[in-house]
Amino acid sequence: MEREEVVSSFMESIGYDKENLILEIKFKSGIVTQYIWVPEWIYANLMKAASYGSYFERNIENIYIGKDL
């Protein structure tokens, strides 16, 4: 999956597969995690958020199932 680089102290890049509803995040730690069944509007709002980390913590982490690659 292709990811778009983002300016964040928490994340390096973010990608989304809208056919399979998978959000993929590469964190600054180097870990890449895929979150499943993430609606496209969650991804869109994440990409527009003033703070990627804050949006992630409030709306994705501990809500969607994540699997480290």
Is 69's pLDDT higher than 90? yes
Contact (CB, 8 A) for 23 and 56: no
Give the chain's domain count: 1
Report residue 26 as tokens.
């590469």
* CA pair distance 49, 56, nearest whole angstrom: 9
The Cα–Cα gap between 50 and 1 comes to 24
With 0.75 as the threshold, say if the pTM is over it: yes
pLDDT at 1: 87
| Residue 13 domain boundaries | 4-68
Per residue in 41-51, pLDDT tens? 999 999 999 99
